[in-house]
Amino acid sequence: MAPAAAPDFVRDAAPEGAPAQEPKPRLTGSGRGPAWTSRLASHPLLPWYAALLGGILPVLLLGFLYSALADRLDFAGWALLLAAFYTTALRQGMQAGWPAPRLAGALALLLAAGAAAFAWIERTHHEILDLGYRAVLPEEVYFPAATSPSAAAATAAALAAAGIAILAGGWLSRRRR
């Protein structure tokens, strides 16, 4: 007859003559001890997920919402393409170890190019987008600037200016060192 497996407390015990070790504290409930928030804030992938979520979530929401309102796949395709470019640029920049201003400036310029492309798509499908916006959403929510290509172009200009300013600020701070 084979011997039974030793219980956990026997296997984890210190060998004879070795000093006894303090038992490790066990987390109870959800596993969130007092240092849970500090562990979350110091997670090494937090900058990646924060930048990824902050960059592609608005793009995808806008693209799919406008695609539904205009009944055109151009907006959804724009969102998917821009999200893919953004994710690739973010990954390459973080993997290359770019400083934060360089990465933020490059991503802002990429989003500016995407907003310019969005303005062009919006100009192409302006009438159907405006009709879909008025048909689906309540009258209190409608405002003409939401479907205006000039508003998207102004957003592209603001993102481009911000990207250039961030890049210039990062370059100037590196020259002072």
Give which of 133, 113, 124 is closest to 66, Cα–Cα: 133
Run of H or E including 75: helix 74-96
First to last CA, the chain: 76
Q: Where are the domains of the chain?
A: 49-176
Q: Who has greater pLDDT, 146 or 155?
A: 155
Give the C-alpha separation, 5 to 165, whole Å: 67
**By percentage, how much of the chain surpasses pLDDT 90?**
49
Q: Do 69 and 146 touch, CB atoms closer than 8 A?
A: no
Q: Do 155 and 121 touch, CB atoms closer than 8 A?
A: no
Q: Stretch 109-135: mean pLDDT, rounded?
A: 93
The reported pTM is 0.72
39 falls in which pLDDT band (50, 70, 90)?
A: low
Q: Do 137 and 66 touch, CB atoms closer than 8 A?
A: no
Token look-up 């987008």 returns 129
Q: How many CB atoms are located within 10 Å of the residue 68 CB?
A: 13
